Structure 1
Amino acid sequence: MTAQPPESSPLPASPGGLRASHDDREAVVEQLRDAAAEGRIDFEELDARLEQALTSKTYAELAVLTADLPKQQPAGDLPPLVLKGGLHGASRGPGRWEVPGHVIAQGGLAGVKLDFTRVDCRLTEVRVEAYGEAAGVTIVIPDGWAADTSAMDPGIGGLKDRTTSDRLPGTPLIRLSGSGGMAGVVIRHPNRWERRKLNSNPAQG
């Protein structure tokens, strides 16, 4: 019996030729919107690229749309953000800023304020170490976010948790640890003045 030559198997598709998913297209859309907010592309170009992104069928078609933009580093891979109050105080936010998976806030002599109300955070959890020290730490989280403060040592200054447990789907949980120190740590939702500012400038980035 004559041996038959093996059937040739189809060549695997190149990575760029693979079909893109809805999530792949959405990730590119988010990167393009971030680039426009940072002033890297204008809004006319943004509209054109968004239209192409939503109709792209392969990875290669999507890659062209972000080839001239800086590659985004996953937030979970970012180094910890360290804020030290020192003699002059320190703050992060309000405004858009990239949230890493781990934040360390040390109140020092002038205090630290950490404001998450304008951020777009895709992490499921953010670990925040807060040390009130001499001047305290204030943490502001949006409505719909929740906090777990069970690992926090209140110290002499105490812990004031004024957040609600009404966590919305898809929002991160703030896992708070550390010590209140002399001045304490406060975690809360926006106050009346902050809400008024948020409502008057809803698109601020």
Structure 2
Amino acid sequence: MRVSDEDRDRTTRRLQHAFSEGRLTQLELEDRLEVALTAKTYGDLLGLITDLPDEQPQVDDVVELDATHGNLKRSGDWAVPRRLRVSTKYGSVELDFSEAVVTHPVVHVELDLVYGSAKIILPEGGVANVDGFRSDYSQPKSAVPSRPRPGTLHVVVTGRSKYGGLVVRYPRKRWFTT
């Protein structure tokens, strides 16, 4: 997946912060900044920061969605945080990432469902790891790969459902003519 100017800026800030903490030398910083400012894909950027400690999530990086009886749905052009905490007692959850604005390569989705089910729709090429999700009623169903791939969205799903389930898939093909 191609990176934006904001992605490059975020990586350069992280590199500068690592330099100010003494984790990088001046020469390492200069070399990495040169690559960061010309990076085209997430894979290019990730290679520059993999040996640095993870940043702690900021308050804006965690969004909590909660409903007791209603359904929760996010679709279209919406900003995706690094971590989504979703809980519902009697409703269902649908998270459609296919047209969403995702500015980071990994999204963590924590589900707490009692009687509801969840559906997660990824953009073509996206991957999801559902190994951390448990349901007393059924096994999670995923029609997408689970192994991370450089430059693609990677969603990590954790949590539980007592009587519901989880489905992860790509968008359905539309077969119509105008």
Tell me the TM-score normalised to structure 2 length.
0.60
Hey, what's the Cα distance between the residues in 2 that align with 1:169 and 1:122?
Answer: 14
What RMSD, in angstroms, separates the aligned Cα atoms of the two structures?
3.1
Larger Rg: 1
Structure with the greater relative contact order (CA < 8 A, sep ≥ 6): 1 or 2?
2
The answer to whether the 8 Å contact 2:135/2:163 transfers is no
2:62 to 69, 74, 80: 80
Partner of 2:54: none
Q: Pick from 153, 157, 171: which aligns with 2:134?
A: 153
User: Could you list the per-position Cα deviations for residues 153-172 of structure 1 after superposition, in whole angstroms to 9, with x for gaps in the alignment?
Assistant: 23324311121358664222
> Partner residue of 1:89?
71
Unaligned runs of 5+ in 2: 9-56
Q: Identity of aligned pairs, percent?
A: 22
Cα distance in 2 for residues equivalent to 1:162 and 1:107? 24
Contact 2:129 2:146 in 1 (8 A): no
The amino acid across from 1:98 in the alignment is: A
Cα distance between partner residues in 2 of 1:83 and 1:118: 19
Change (3 A) 1:138 1:107: farther
Displacement of 1:119 in angstroms is 1.4
Structure 1 portions without partners, runs of 5+: 1-22, 31-75, 201-205
Letter in 1 for 2:126: W
* Cα drift, residue 116 of structure 1: 0.5
How far, CA to CA, are the matches of 2:83 and 2:148 in structure 1? 20
Aligned equivalents of 1:180, 1:150: Cα separation in 2: 13
Deviation at 1:122, TM superposition (A): 2.4
4+ residue segments displaced more than 4 Å: 165-168
Shift, 1:113, TM fit: 0.8
Cα distance change on mapping 1:168 and 1:79 into 2, 3 Å: closer
Could you tell me whether the CA contact under 8 Å between 2:128 and 2:144 is conserved in 1?
yes
The aligned amino acid for 1:162 is A
